[in-house]
Structure 1
Amino acid sequence: MSRARGLAAGYAVFGLFWGSWAACLPAIQRATGATEAQLGLALLCVALAALPAMLVAGRFADVFGARLVPIFLVFFGAVAWLPGLAHSVPALVLFLAIVGIGTGLLDIGINAHAARLEALHGIRIMDGLHAAFSGGVLVGGIGSGLLRRVGAHPAWILAVVALLTALTALANLGPYPPLAPPQRRARLARPLLIVGLVLALAFLVENGLEAWSALFLERTLDSSPAISGLGPGLFAGAMVTGRVLAQKVEWPSVAGRMLVAGLAAAAGLALAATAHQAAVALAGFVVAGGGLALSAPTLFGLAGRVGGEGGRGAALSTVAILGYLGFVAGPALIGAVSGASSLRGGLLFLCAVAVILAACAPILRRVVREIGS
Structure 2
Amino acid sequence: MAFLAELAASRATGAGLASVGVFWGGFAAYLPDYKAAAGASDAEMGLVLILSAAGGMAAMAASPRIMVALGRAMLPAAGALVAVAAFLPLLAGDIISLGLVLLAMGATMSTLDIASNVRISEREARDGLHLMNLNHALFSFSFGASAFGCGLARKAGLGPEFVAPVLFLVLLLLAAVMAERADATPPAAATGGEAAASPWGAILPAAAILFAAFVSENATESWSALYIERTLGGPAGEGSFGPAMLGLTMGIGRLSGQFLAARLGEARLVAGSALLGVAGALVVALAPAPAVAVVGVALIGLGVAVVVPSANSLLGRAVAPEQRAYAISRSWMIGFTGFFLGPVGMGLIAETVGLRWSFAAVAVAMALILPGLARLSRR
- TM-score by length of structure 1 reads 0.93
Amino acid at match of 2:244: G
What is the percent sequence identity of the aligned residues?
29
The answer for the alignment partner of 1:142 in structure 2 is 148
Is 1:228 matched up with 2:235?
A: no
Distance 2:121 2:23 in 1: 23
Matched residue SS, 1:80? helix
Name stretches of at least 5 consecutive residues in structure 1 with no aligned partner: none
Unaligned runs of 5+ in 2: none
Is the contact between residue 206 and residue 373 of structure 2 (CA under 8 Å) also seen in structure 1? no
Question: Aligned partner of 2:161: which letter?
Answer: A
In 2, Cα distance between the equivalents of 1:63 and 1:305?
Answer: 25
In the other structure, the counterpart of 1:36 is: 42
Paired position in structure 2 for 1:179: 186
| Counterpart for residue 211 of structure 2 | 200
> What corresponds to 1:296 in structure 2?
308
Give the Cα separation in 2 of the matches to 1:223 and 1:239.
23
Given candidates 69, 74, 79, the residue that maps to 1:73 is 79
- The correspondence of residues 13-32 of structure 1 with structure 2, limited to 5 A, is 13-32=19-38
State the 1:86 CA deviation.
1.7
- In 1, the alpha carbon distance for the partners of 2:229 and 2:187 equals 50
What is the match of residue 347 of structure 2? Answer: 335
Alignment: residue pair count: 367
* Alignment equivalent of 1:325, drawn from 321, 337, 340: 337
Partner of 1:308 in structure 2? 320
Distance 2:161 2:331 in 1: 33
Given that 1:58 and 1:318 are in contact with CA atoms closer than 8 Å, whether structure 2 keeps it comes out as no
- C-alpha spacing 1:228/1:62, structure 2 compared with 1 (3 Å): same
Any conservation in 2 of the 1:217–1:223 contact (CA below 8 Å)?
yes
Matching residue of 1:285: 297
Q: Distance in 2 between matches of 1:19 and 1:180?
A: 29
- 2:15–2:175 contact (8 Å) kept in structure 1: no
Per-residue deviation, 1:3: 5.3
Partner residue in 1 for 2:365: 353
Per-residue Cα deviation, 1:224-253 (whole angstroms, up to 9, x for no partner): 233211101111111111111111222433
In structure 2, the CA distance between the partners of 1:203 and 1:180, relative to structure 1 (3 Å rule), is closer
Separation in 1, partners of 2:187, 2:369: 34
Deviation at 1:277, TM superposition (A): 0.6
Amino acid in the other structure paired with 1:268: G
Q: Mean alpha-carbon deviation: is it higher for 254-263 or for 226-235?
A: 254-263
**Counterpart contact for 1:300–1:319, Cα < 8 Å:** no
Q: Give distance in 1, aligned partners of 2:154 and 2:377.
A: 45
For residue 198 of structure 1, what is the amino acid of its counterpart? I
Given that 2:59 and 2:111 are in contact with CA atoms closer than 8 Å, whether structure 1 keeps it comes out as: yes
Q: State whether residues 23 and 145 of structure 1, in contact with CA within 8 Å, keep that contact through their aligned partners in structure 2.
A: yes
* Residue-by-residue CA offset, 1:196-224 (whole Å, 9 max, x unaligned): 12111111111111111111001111112
1:213 aligns with 2:220: no
Q: Distance in 1 between matches of 2:126 and 2:79?
A: 23
Q: Which amino acid counterpart does residue 7 of structure 1 have in structure 2?
A: T
Mapped pair 1:164 → 2:176: no
- The range that moved more, 179-188 or 109-118, is 179-188
Q: Is the 8 A contact 1:208 1:334 kept in 2?
A: yes
